[in-house]
Structure 1
Amino acid sequence: MESQRSFLVIGLALVSFLLWQQWQTDQAPPAPTTVTQSSSNQNSSNAIDMSSTSSEQAVVSNTNAQAKVINISTDVLQLQIDNRGGDIIGLKLPKYTVSKDSDELYTLMRKLPGFEFTAQSGLIGRDGPDDSRTPRPVYSTTAQNFSLAKGEQQLVVPLMYTANGLSIEKRFTFTAGNYDVRVEYFIHNQSDEVKTVQPYQHLVQSIEGGAESGLMMPIYRGGAYGTAKERYTKYKFDDMKDENLIKPTTGGWAAMLEHYFVSAWVPDQQAENQIYSRVQNNLGVIGTKGPEIHIQPGATAEIGSSFYAGPKTQDNLAKLANGLDLTVDYGILWFISQPLFWLLTTIQGFVVNWGVAIICITLIVKGAMYPLTKIQYESMAKMRNLKPKIDELQAKFKDDKQKMGPAMMELYRKEKVNPMGGCLPMIIQMPIFLALYWVFVESVELRHAPFALWITDLSSQDPFYVLPVLFGISMFMMQKLQPMTVTDPMQQKIMMWMPVAFSIFFLWFPSGLVLYWLVSNLISLAQMLYIYRGMEKKGLHTKKAKTS
């Protein structure tokens, strides 16, 4: 039946279009990462207004502390922290480069003229030193450069500040091999009165001036958050412009996304927190705010949160907070994609090649779908055999549409053919294949992963366009095995040129996705030959009936 072929073409076109829209570049266009030191008079870190919850009391900064940038290096992170406020103003990932053949490290955060992406945190409340109407506290440090030595498992970077009766240590704890950083406050009340502070942590990014989406490779830059009730929700910059986010929750998290990478604040998961967003001076902000802490005279309080900046590795993210692993955004089909991703990584663990793993998982999925594929092709062949009789009915009742419908249904009943038999299996299979495509699109594990020969990066296009051409040939062969039954010349021309159109379309697709499509087509060809041969042995014709 012609509608079945149309479903196939429309489905392929829809999937391809969605992939086109969802596939994002490996990285934003690289920007220079030199960070200008803040002078003692600058208050740029204080750009975000926290006055709704901050103290009205003036905060006295350390008189002997100088504003400077603190450099921290581990095996997986290179950070720059401004000692004014203790904010992360620069972050590179030593394990990831800008491109496959580049030695330039991937820059996730930076603070430059015209663009900012930073991670800020502090203490507000009645006695908090991060009052938005005064300069941020300037912390003192024991050194300006810290490095995790080879063989060491942990690096602790303490920042010290004393004012208004409070002695504060803002401590950053790094662990070898980990992208999450523990950020803690150890507060000692040295005064004779109760002190009240409230922790906050948020991500700040310029709305304009960053990497812009292109036609072929759109980039999502924006926020996301999770609560006890909503495990994962995207919150775009446009949403932030329209409405300030206010979400009370137990635990929760707030993040900024850019395809393969995520930056996130994870506060105390047992505390009653508030997730918020705002826009100020072209800066989009999303973060979390904890409950007020009341510190008795002479007492000490500890406040902690975790900061993650790195690749979207699901296992690591799932351990930090409920729903944070969903930033690997498989869309509404995540519950199908996640098991498929597990299967893909399991296979890769045996074959040690992501390209071979793609071939293997395609074989497994297509094999599992074979019973539905068999029903689909047999139904389409039976409908094609009925075409002469259908043509007779259409000619007989061409002027009486009311009689044609019952006559067609009677023909289907008599011949024991279900006109939807070829469509329903395809509809059932589509979510599985679509979920698998999202696995290929979202998995950072495939970024810069080699396959074989000239395919050295499965996340980039085939440099010699071999795979798209082979895909077009395989699609053409499928058309020959399953020829069109339409007589309309325009539709015939469209279908004839469809393999060429998709080959051109796939020139810009990541080679991993094209490899999947090609293998899937080759398996379909083999299944068609096997199914049609079995039908011919039963005396059923599988070839196109001639039309005048």
Structure 2
Amino acid sequence: MESQRSILVIGLALVSFLLWQQWNIDAAPKPVTAVTESSQNTGSSAADLQLTTADTEQSETAAVVATAKTISVNTDVLQLNIDSRGGDIVALELPAFELNKGQGDAYPLMRRKDDFEYVAQSGLIGRDGPDDGRNARPVYNSVQSSYHLADGAEQLIVPLTFDYNGLHIEKRFTFTAGHYDVRVDYLITNQSAEVKTVQPYQHLVQTIESGAKSSMMMPIYRGTAYGTSSERYTKYSFDDVKDKNLLEATQGGWVAMLEHYFVAAWVPETAAENQLYSKIFNGKAVIGAKGPAVNIQPGSEITLTSTFYAGPKDQDKLATIANGLDLTVDYGFLWFISQPLFWLLTTIQGFVVNWGLAIICITLIVKGGMYPLTKVQYESMAKMRNLKPKIEELQARYKDDRQKMGPAMMELYRKEKVNPMGGCLPMIVQMPIFLALYWVFVESVELRHAPFMLWINDLSAQDPYYVLPILFGISMFLMQRLTPMQVTDPMQQKIMMFMPVAFSVFFLWFPSGLVLYWFVSNLISLAQMLYIYRGMEKKGLHTKKA
């Protein structure tokens, strides 16, 4: 097997993988259109229906009824609006992340507009909860209309209060400097003479947009996910939500809505037995968690706590918030390779202080680590090439007796100490490493808008002048010239000649960080091939076509 054939197999495997990935996103058979309200909730209890139907209907009502007050909150990393009706987070921007590089516009993660809604809701249901569906959602009182984290301050507390049926309720948001996670407490005092029962819930609501902004080169998932005590991370796409309501009981757990580099998540009480749920309502997906019912004795006070996160997919920070939440940085089935590669990439970047240089360094390390396999691959191909006359002789001798040809070929390989799969196995090992690095470059928010040098000012975007794809094509052409393939079939010859051009065109839309990796990898491969071939020629092995 020749090196070009290996490259072709790798390329075809990559294209096939990306096509399969995109087919699952855009073209896979969709579930049957969402069923009616009653049939969707088959098997759910009355309490489940009360939460998933009544509360969502209240959110629809809230969009129609004028809100009492919008409370703005600004910290060093978050800019958000809280609707005093329900105490919902109805808008949230991330000032540290630009929507468009160089324009200074903060990334709008959550918002409520006429044609799109993406909000975070929480409340109290149950027999005595103000969000139980019997009334319009509570309108909380707030002393201020705006809150700002002062310079040098560590925390900012935003208290909202509401009195309802003998209960004094304070919904308290606690923001911490430099943190995207927000602590949400319900401080409930029973001022009546009877036992009160409430049940906390938290959920995310998002309009399902038609037409995913994704491509084969940059597959982007937008949908929901959740984690339980038994399954740390499970994707639950909007189509899954349409097809079947989620209903999972778990201790702790979390629910989230994901987009390319960012995530919004609710993490309920970790020690409580919670119920995770989902629902489709009026073109909107809902995913949430409901805690156990809590009895409040007369004159007593309780505190119910949850955590809300809205920000970048920072693996280290997410791992400290909830078990499995860091897996929202989704590396797919090769996560066990991608995670250490990401760690290595970030460690290198800490020294070189440039993500492009870090990519070059990790490429040198990966290619250097795989050098023994590369050496085995090229030496095996050279040995097979030298055996070609003997193989052709056997094929001519046993052309009419294939049962004898097989054993004769194996005996030849054994005698000459040649492994016919020696050229393929190293390639099979290298392919998962490439795919793992591909997902690191695609999923890592650290590379978003990260500059390299000269004309490359965003490693997560395509090369604006297509220089890197062209350089990659040239390097691939040089690799072909260095190890010409023994091909007699005219069609295969044309395919091999066209490959550098095809791959250059194919890489035009790839993130420049990934193309940079491939180009540097090819340069290193060229150097390794020259070195290996020189050593093989000294051993009398031919490295070129006779």
Find the aligned partners of 1:450 and 1:214 in 2 and give their Cα distance.
23
What corresponds to 1:430 in structure 2? 431
1:351-362, aligned counterparts within 5 Å?
351-362=352-363
CA displacement at 1:186 relative to structure 2: 0.1
Find the aligned partners of 2:8 and 2:306 in 1 and give their Cα distance.
50
Contact between 2:52 and 2:279, CA under 8 Å: does it hold in 1?
no
CA displacement at 1:381 relative to structure 2: 1.0
Alignment partner of 2:274: what SS? strand
Contact between 1:4 and 1:423, CA under 8 Å: does it hold in 2?
no
* Residues 356 and 202 of structure 1: CA distance in aligned 2, closer, same or farther (over 3 Å): same
Contact between 1:55 and 1:125, CA under 8 Å: does it hold in 2?
no
Find the aligned partners of 1:209 and 1:15 in 2 and give their Cα distance.
28
* Residues 214 and 222 of structure 1: CA distance in aligned 2, closer, same or farther (over 3 Å): same
What corresponds to 2:11 in structure 1? 12
What corresponds to 2:35 in structure 1? none
Find the aligned partners of 2:53 and 2:129 in 1 and give their Cα distance.
7
CA displacement at 1:255 relative to structure 2: 0.3
Contact between 1:21 and 1:216, CA under 8 Å: does it hold in 2?
no
- Between stretches 214-223 and 511-520, larger displacement belongs to 214-223
CA displacement at 1:437 relative to structure 2: 1.7
1:124-135, aligned counterparts within 5 Å?
124-135=125-136
Contact between 1:54 and 1:126, CA under 8 Å: does it hold in 2?
no
1:17-28, aligned counterparts within 5 Å?
18=17
2:515 aligned with 1:514, yes or no?
yes
Contact between 1:50 and 1:131, CA under 8 Å: does it hold in 2?
no
What corresponds to 1:268 in structure 2? 269
Contact between 1:54 and 1:124, CA under 8 Å: does it hold in 2?
no
Alignment partner of 2:50: what SS? coil
What corresponds to 2:395 in structure 1? 394
2:287 aligned with 1:286, yes or no?
yes
What corresponds to 1:471 in structure 2? 472
Contact between 2:75 and 2:148, CA under 8 Å: does it hold in 1?
yes
What corresponds to 1:384 in structure 2? 385
1:86-485, aligned counterparts within 5 Å?
86-209=87-210, 212-214=213-215, 216-485=217-486
Find the aligned partners of 2:210 and 2:339 in 1 and give their Cα distance.
34
TM-score by length of 2: 0.90
In the alignment, residue 14 of structure 1 is paired with which amino acid?
A: A
TM-score by length of 1: 0.90
Alignment partner of 2:152: what SS? coil
CA displacement at 1:345 relative to structure 2: 0.6
CA displacement at 1:391 relative to structure 2: 2.4
Q: CA RMSD in A?
A: 2.2
Contact between 1:21 and 1:218, CA under 8 Å: does it hold in 2?
no
Find the aligned partners of 1:401 and 1:307 in 2 and give their Cα distance.
68
Find the aligned partners of 2:367 and 2:228 in 1 and give their Cα distance.
37
Find the aligned partners of 1:308 and 1:322 in 2 and give their Cα distance.
14
Contact between 2:2 and 2:381, CA under 8 Å: does it hold in 1?
no
What corresponds to 2:25 in structure 1? none
CA displacement at 1:474 relative to structure 2: 0.8
Find the aligned partners of 1:94 and 1:69 in 2 and give their Cα distance.
20
Alignment partner of 2:255: what SS? strand
Find the aligned partners of 2:428 and 2:85 in 1 and give their Cα distance.
57
CA displacement at 1:316 relative to structure 2: 0.5
Q: CA offsets, 1:180-203, max 9 Å, x none? A: 001110000011111000100011
* Residues 369 and 117 of structure 1: CA distance in aligned 2, closer, same or farther (over 3 Å): same
Work out the number of aligned pairs and report it. Answer: 514
Find the aligned partners of 1:134 and 1:365 in 2 and give their Cα distance.
61
Find the aligned partners of 2:5 and 2:464 in 1 and give their Cα distance.
32
Q: CA offsets, 1:372-395, max 9 Å, x none? A: 111111101111111222223223
Find the aligned partners of 2:89 and 2:182 in 1 and give their Cα distance.
11
Find the aligned partners of 2:16 and 2:180 in 1 and give their Cα distance.
34
Contact between 2:249 and 2:274, CA under 8 Å: does it hold in 1?
yes
* Residues 22 and 346 of structure 1: CA distance in aligned 2, closer, same or farther (over 3 Å): farther
* Residues 182 and 210 of structure 1: CA distance in aligned 2, closer, same or farther (over 3 Å): farther
Alignment partner of 2:452: what SS? coil
Find the aligned partners of 1:99 and 1:514 in 2 and give their Cα distance.
22
Alignment partner of 2:485: what SS? coil
In the alignment, residue 450 of structure 1 is paired with which amino acid?
A: P
Find the aligned partners of 2:9 and 2:145 in 1 and give their Cα distance.
60
Q: CA offsets, 1:376-426, max 9 Å, x none? A: 111011111112222232233333322322222122122111101111122
Contact between 1:53 and 1:124, CA under 8 Å: does it hold in 2?
no
Alignment partner of 1:103: what SS? coil
- Between stretches 121-130 and 411-420, larger displacement belongs to 411-420
Alignment partner of 1:106: what SS? strand
Contact between 1:81 and 1:88, CA under 8 Å: does it hold in 2?
yes
CA displacement at 1:292 relative to structure 2: 0.9
CA displacement at 1:541 relative to structure 2: 1.2
Find the aligned partners of 2:324 and 2:5 in 1 and give their Cα distance.
38
Alignment partner of 1:269: what SS? coil
Contact between 1:337 and 1:435, CA under 8 Å: does it hold in 2?
yes
Q: CA offsets, 1:86-139, max 9 Å, x none? A: 111101000011122222111000111121111110001111110234210010
Q: CA offsets, 1:294-322, max 9 Å, x none? A: 10001101000000000001111000001
Contact between 2:224 and 2:238, CA under 8 Å: does it hold in 1?
yes
What corresponds to 2:33 in structure 1? none
CA displacement at 1:5 relative to structure 2: 4.8
CA displacement at 1:217 relative to structure 2: 4.0
* Residues 533 and 215 of structure 1: CA distance in aligned 2, closer, same or farther (over 3 Å): closer
Contact between 1:201 and 1:287, CA under 8 Å: does it hold in 2?
yes
Structure 2: gaps (5+ residues) = 23-46
In the alignment, residue 447 of structure 1 is paired with which amino acid?
A: R
Alignment partner of 1:51: what SS? helix
Find the aligned partners of 1:262 and 1:72 in 2 and give their Cα distance.
19
Q: CA offsets, 1:178-233, max 9 Å, x none? A: 00001110000011111000100011111135754356544321000111110111
What corresponds to 1:69 in structure 2? 70
* Residues 67 and 111 of structure 1: CA distance in aligned 2, closer, same or farther (over 3 Å): same
Q: CA offsets, 1:454-487, max 9 Å, x none? A: 1111111111111101100111111112221221
What corresponds to 1:491 in structure 2? 492
Find the aligned partners of 1:306 and 1:54 in 2 and give their Cα distance.
23
* Residues 280 and 319 of structure 1: CA distance in aligned 2, closer, same or farther (over 3 Å): same
Contact between 1:117 and 1:203, CA under 8 Å: does it hold in 2?
yes
In the alignment, residue 206 of structure 2 is paired with which amino acid?
A: Q
In the alignment, residue 114 of structure 1 is paired with which amino acid?
A: D
1:508-547, aligned counterparts within 5 Å?
508-545=509-546
Find the aligned partners of 1:210 and 1:69 in 2 and give their Cα distance.
31
Contact between 1:253 and 1:321, CA under 8 Å: does it hold in 2?
yes
2:72 aligned with 1:51, yes or no?
no
- Identity across the alignment (%): 72
* Residues 240 and 137 of structure 1: CA distance in aligned 2, closer, same or farther (over 3 Å): same
Find the aligned partners of 2:20 and 2:347 in 1 and give their Cα distance.
28
What corresponds to 2:38 in structure 1? none
Find the aligned partners of 1:7 and 1:276 in 2 and give their Cα distance.
47
Find the aligned partners of 1:338 and 1:423 in 2 and give their Cα distance.
26
Structure 1: gaps (5+ residues) = 24-47
Find the aligned partners of 1:437 and 1:496 in 2 and give their Cα distance.
26
In the alignment, residue 372 of structure 1 is paired with which amino acid?
A: L
